[in-house]
Amino acid sequence: MKHLVITVIGQDRPGLVGALSDTVYQHQGNWLGSSMSKLAGQFAGILQVDVPEGSVKSLRQAMSKLDGLNIHIAEDSHTSPAPKQLQTLTVTGNDRPGIVKEVTTRLSELGINIYKLKTDTHSAPNWGYPIFTAWFELEIPASLSVATVQQQLESLADDLTIDFEEPEGIEVH
């Protein structure tokens, strides 16, 4: 079996996920995991599938024929990485340009891989100004302490709240 990671973007419409899942199924594929969202009227998704080696080429061709979608397919190179700690990080602060850049730059400098990232901006209750929140799932090298990471992130700005917790039920492949 070949492990594929497929990214998809295009104008959102009913039936898109059904078309993707049918195409995977028609090529003897097994849908392993996905994350999909509607952002600014666009459908954006990433999915991981297993398909028989002999079906990879025909799956690529069938995916390229799905109307109105930009699709990229990458084969998983599955190597054995060094042991890592998995941690969930929540960053909260007054919304302003550059928060994601500052946090991700510092994480990269520390050798930390971002496993997942989700962000949101909303009005603060009773205050009315925008609050930015980012939820990260991180792969932290075993040699790096969470306390060190927290200290490094807290040094970025006084108005950011940095909270860590161990995630539940996450497997790193």
Q: What are phi and psi of 24, to 5 degrees?
A: -60, -45
* Separation of alpha carbons 147 and 103, rounded Å: 15
Residue 99: predicted pLDDT: 96
Q: Are the C-beta atoms of 45 and 12 separated by less than 8 Å?
A: no
Residue 102: predicted pLDDT: 96
Expressed in angstroms, the distance from the first to the final Cα of the chain is 15
* Separation of alpha carbons 54 and 119, rounded Å: 39
Residue 172 has pLDDT above 90, yes or no: no
Show the domains of the chain with their CATH numbers: 2-75 (3.30.70.260), 84-165 (3.30.70.260)
Residue 2: predicted pLDDT: 93
What tens digit of pLDDT does each residue of 113-166 get?
998 999 999 887 777 789 999 999 999 998 999 999 999 999 999 989 999 987
For the entire predicted model, the pTM comes to 0.74
The dihedral built from the CA positions of residue 56, 60, 62 and 66, taken in this order, carries a sign that is: positive
The region of weakest confidence among 17-21, 40-44, 120-124, 143-147 is 120-124
* Separation of alpha carbons 121 and 170, rounded Å: 25
Give the Cβ contact number of residue 67 at 10 Å: 9
